[in-house]
Structure 1
Amino acid sequence: MTVIRKPTLIKQQRDENTLILWLRVDAEIEDFKGHFPQFALLPGVTQIDWAVYYAQQFFDSPKSFQSMEVIKFQEPILKEALVKLTLTWHADKQKLNFSYTSGQDDEVRTHSSGRILLG
């Protein structure tokens, strides 16, 4: 039995220091288990883990987690959600800005955002 820990990557767009990933948050992701059985939602620690993981994959950012700043969890991410993860890497400061959003145009919802110090 395969344990699923990451979402399905649907599409990606990248420039020098910004990465945008469109993700499907599959219902089978292990992190949903036990996180509110009656109302499963994606844990905040998982959202942070994914942001760091993709930064390391695409920007070759440092592997060492130092701290977090201005982390906000505003709206739950539920099973089978389609979300956009935007990552901006500031190599000079060793800081990763992230945000998870969904929707389009005037109905964009922010699920979470913040800054992570790596290095």
Structure 2
Amino acid sequence: MIHGIPAEEILEKTDNSISLKVKIDASSDYFDGHFPEFKLLPAVAQIDLLVHYAQKYFGLPLSTPSIKRFKFSDKILPDANVLFKIDFDSEKGRVSFEVSDFADGRVYSSGIYSI
């Protein structure tokens, strides 16, 4: 458990990609102080979760030394069920990702960073 986010569910995994279902629990400390009247998951929390899962499943460093592109398209609200799709290209040394709503597929964020 990271920052009060329950354990993720692996939906699909290969050597270089993974799809995870993650519940963004309303009790997570990621929401503390971030717009108290209208809680939403901060962009930095999305990046933190992404880097955590990339480290856990691909053994990558817990850092993003070279951000190529990050796009935040929609708000993640408390108790959302989201889908993290993470791909690791070891030859190019980069991670690409997409975070979307598990139910309707609406994209919350996407991007690429180099390791």
TM over 0.5: yes
Deviates more, 1:18-27 or 1:60-69: 60-69
Amino acid of the residue matched to residue 111 of structure 1?
Y
Paired position in structure 2 for 1:23 = 22
Unaligned ranges ≥5, structure 2: none
How far off is 1:31 after superposition? 1.2
Q: Which residue of 2 aligns with 1:11?
A: 9
**How far apart in 2 are the matches of 1:111 and 1:56?**
21
| Distance verdict in 2 for CA 1:108–1:52, change over 3 Å | same
Whole-angstrom distance in 2 between the partners of 1:101 and 1:50: 14
- 3-state SS of paired residue (1:114): strand
TM-score by length of 2: 0.90
Kindly indicate whether the alpha-carbon contact (under 8 Å) linking 2:96 and 2:111 is maintained by their aligned counterparts in 1: yes
Kindly state the Cα deviation for residue 63 of structure 1 after the two structures are TM-superposed.
3.7
* Distance change (3 Å), C-alpha of 1:52 and 1:10: closer
Q: In percent, how many aligned pairs have the same letter?
A: 33
Q: 1:78 to 1:61 in 2, by over 3 A?
A: same
1:1-119, aligned counterparts within 5 Å? Answer: 5-12=3-10, 13-104=12-103, 107-118=104-115
- Give the CA deviation at 1:7: 2.1
Return the letter of the residue paired with 2:114.
L
TM-score, normalised with respect to structure 1: 0.87
Q: Which runs of 4+ in 1 moved over 3 A?
A: none
- Name structure 1 gaps, 5 residues minimum: none
Q: What is the CA deviation profile of residues 45-102 of structure 1, one whole-angstrom value per residue up to 9, with x for unaligned ones?
A: 1101111111111111234431212211001001000000000001112111111101
Does the CA-based 8 Å contact 1:6-1:50 persist in structure 2? no
How far apart, CA to CA, are the structure 2 residues paired with 1:88 and 1:4? 21
Aligned CA RMSD, in angstroms, stands at 1.8
For 1:52 and 1:63, locate their aligned partners in 2 and report how far apart those are by CA, in whole Å: 6
